Structure 1
Amino acid sequence: MLPHQRQYAQARFRSLVEESSGNEFEKLFHRAMELSHAGFMPIRASGNIGDLSADGWCSCHRTLYACYAPEIFNASATQRKFRSDLRGALDKRREQFDIFTFVHNDQRGIHPVISNLIAQGAQDHPGIRLQQMGPQKLWYEVMGLGRDRMEVLLGESIPVHEVAYDVGMADVEELLTHLADARSSAAPLEEIPIPSPHKADFNKLGQDSKRDLQEARPFVHLVERYYHDVIDVTERDEVADGFAAYYRQMRQEYGDNPDEIFWQMQGYVLGQGRPRPSRLRAGNVVVAYFFEQCDIFEVPPAGWTPGAPTGVLS
């Protein structure tokens, strides 16, 4: 798919999640996983035996999925559901899985109480991995689908013509606003070294891309401060996973053109519309932050210097 089509698909997928709960969300989850994983098996309840404490199973990764998507979130009810599903899976299906994934529809991320349950469960059951999958992680599972499969997932055709969508990465909309507002009072731009110069050279980035990184570097502390202040401790890792997944997809599509990959990463943050200068600068700060955190682009091997043999994107 073209970048603007993928962004359209992301916006529509987010809308589907917002509009669904209970069985409807479970159906959406089943459809997404079946389209993206050949080894996924949806599990439905049947008569007196129910679903034997599982809503899906993936043979490729020996992963068992338990899905819970209430219309209105309630921490106590979610706690009971998590404990019941985990206990039931261990009693009825222990030989079938190594990973237990709790799937939920909370757009804001996993509730702190549930994150504690996952951490405690990992300590109590060291033989299995416990993890969660919210709407954003579910999107990462399907974002690499081709257009035909994506249209099956969304239940509609994706526009072919080039259009501008102001969607970008939904996770960082508040962050972009924060950066755009805070930048004017932040440190003034001055001549500074290009961020991670060896990394930029190793990935063969051109002068325009390097300049964008250079100008953004004095303000990456704003991103760090933002993540330090947010309540949801998983938000940074969720966004980083999205950057890394999109980077891998773009590298697969544009592997011989690092500046095109860099441009696509900027577009992932900002969308395909024409942003205001303050928003464009904020978007570059976001890209620079994840560039320096090594979530995107390749890290030079120890001892590599410019002029040494070949970067990875040759």
Structure 2
Amino acid sequence: MGSLGDGGCDGIAENGSILYACYGQRAVTNLDQKTKKKLEDDFARAYAFWPEFRVWRFVTNASFGPASTDSLLKLRKKHGPDSKRPIALELWKAPDDLWWEAVSKLAWDQLDEIIPGSPHAQNVELDDLVELIEMLEGVEGGDVDHLLEDIRPVSSTKMDFNRLPRTTRTEFDEGRLLSLRIDKWFAGQPDPGLRDAKARRFRQIYEEARRVTSDVREIVRRVYVALGGPDFDMWTKRANAVYAVTVYFFDSCDIFEEPPADFSIGETGDVASD
């Protein structure tokens, strides 16, 4: 790497017998020609720098048309079984080949090491709520429209007292559309104490976050990550599911602070700084 380059190698496996070249394309014109050139250049560099590999895998999401195919076939013929240096040239087209040949064979802890916060990841602190998160991810927008009249309004008083920023309030507003679904999910669980147990754990996570920081945005973020993993917001449906579960426990007074009886909207509490 660096000034020495990588010799066309984006990964090496099986004691040097397999060499990977990975190409992600953002081009909008001359797609096939760009892929063709990348394939030829990467193979030429790898061939020159890495004398031991016997399998060369080209992993790409790029357009792979006639020009790229022609180059691949010519290289396969040139390095066939009877050549001076036989090499099997393989094409992995993302996402299907990449999924079936690699990702689907990983254990969950391996997948989480590569993509932190993936579903079922072992480091998600509330991992027994994964089923709930996945159920909420599957809810379409139209499925909640008829429930809106039954949903309680957001407590502006509590949000003011805890100094929740506008972005968090928007996230909570969106998440609360699924609150009745969460009620129904907990009611259907075989363990009648699951909801209270999760509420206690949410409270612990919230308290731990408060001991570390007074920034309310960071506190909310830590609660989100505990539920959905560090990259939960890379996917809209997962983020909305995380918002929904968080505000569910917010509304039920399990996390954040309850304002005193004489508190009025417009005041602020001492939970966090702006």
State the TM-score, normalizing by the size of structure 2: 0.51
2:123 is aligned with 1:171: no
Residues 49-96 of structure 1: CA distance to partner in whole angstroms, max 9, x if unpaired? xxxxxxxxxxxxxxxxxxxxxxxxxxxxxxxxxxxxxxxxxxxxxxxx
Which residue number in structure 2 is paired with residue 198 of structure 1?
Answer: 157
Considering only aligned residues, what root-mean-square deviation do their CA atoms show, in Å? 2.7
**Percent of counterpart pairs with the same letter?**
27
* Offset at residue 313 of structure 1 (A): 2.8
Q: 5 Å matches for 1:1-314?
A: 164-166=116-118, 167=121, 168=124, 169-188=126-145, 195-254=154-213, 256-274=214-232, 275-308=234-267, 310-314=269-273
| Runs of 4+ more than 3 Å apart | 188-194, 308-312
Residues 170-200 of structure 1: CA distance to partner in whole angstroms, max 9, x if unpaired? 1200000111113445323989996211111
**Does structure 1 retain, via aligned residues, the 8 Å contact 2:117–2:228?**
no
Q: Using the alignment, how far apart are the partners of 1:165 and 1:216 within structure 2?
A: 20
User: Greater CA radius of gyration, 1 or 2?
Assistant: 2
Letter matched to residue 303 of structure 1: D
* Offset at residue 270 of structure 1 (A): 0.8
* Offset at residue 240 of structure 1 (A): 1.0
In 2 relative to 1, CA 295–259 (structure 1 residues): closer, same or farther, beyond 3 Å?
Answer: same
Q: Using the alignment, how far apart are the partners of 1:165 and 1:218 within structure 2?
A: 24
In 2 relative to 1, CA 309–229 (structure 1 residues): closer, same or farther, beyond 3 Å?
Answer: closer
How many pairs does the alignment contain? 153
* Offset at residue 303 of structure 1 (A): 2.6
Letter matched to residue 174 of structure 1: E
Letter matched to residue 132 of structure 2: L
Q: Using the alignment, how far apart are the partners of 1:311 and 1:215 within structure 2?
A: 26
Q: Using the alignment, how far apart are the partners of 2:251 and 2:208 within structure 1?
A: 19
In 2 relative to 1, CA 213–174 (structure 1 residues): closer, same or farther, beyond 3 Å?
Answer: same
**Does structure 2 retain, via aligned residues, the 8 Å contact 1:175–1:226?**
yes
**Does structure 1 retain, via aligned residues, the 8 Å contact 2:160–2:267?**
no
Q: Which runs of 5+ in 1 are unaligned?
A: 1-160
State the TM-score, normalizing by the size of structure 1: 0.44
Letter matched to residue 131 of structure 2: E
Q: Using the alignment, how far apart are the partners of 1:162 and 1:177 within structure 2?
A: 20
